Amino acid sequence: MSTIPACPQCTLENVYQDRDNYVCADCGYEWPIAGDASADDSTAAVVKDANGNVLANGDAVVLIKDLKVKGSSITLKVGSKVKSIRLVAGGDHEVDCKMDAGSFMLKACFLRKV
């Protein structure tokens, strides 16, 4: 059994060791071998809203800007409250939430903690 972990970016197991890094042969992502589990936990835990407040799972937030939803005619209005958020690691969106209009992934820079 191999002790090399799967790629954190594409989750495939075609990974090899190159000096002090692991390298994914499929997507080309590289990450350090030493302290990889503790480094991922600390970076994923720090998500800040537009005012610099640290967000956590289950927080309530408010939109600070009207946001148009791609691929539909829905616009999320400023001041819309989201009661329970979930932080997501990876990707360009940090927050996963459910609203009356549906489920959305939002960037934390458009949110304010309540």
- Using CA of residue 96, residue 102, residue 107, residue 111, what is the dihedral sign? negative
CATH fold group of domain 1-45? N-terminal domain of TfIIb (2.20.25)
DSSP 6: P
Q: Where in the chain is the domain with CATH 2.30.30.40?
A: 47-113
Domain with CATH 2.20.25.10 in the chain: 1-45
Name every residue whose Cβ is closer than 8 Å to that of residue 72 and which is 6 or more positions away in sequence.
none
CATH class of this structure's domain 47-113: mainly beta
Q: How distant is the alpha carbon of residue 39 from its chain centre?
A: 15
| Per-residue confidence in pLDDT tens, the chain, 114 aa | 468 888 888 888 888 988 888 898 888 888 888 755 444 444 445 889 999 999 999 999 999 999 999 899 999 999 999 999 999 887 788 999 999 889 999 999 999 999
Asked if residue 27 lies in contact with residue 10, where contact means CB atoms within 8 angstroms, the answer is: yes
Distance CA(20)–CA(18), nearest Å, equals 6
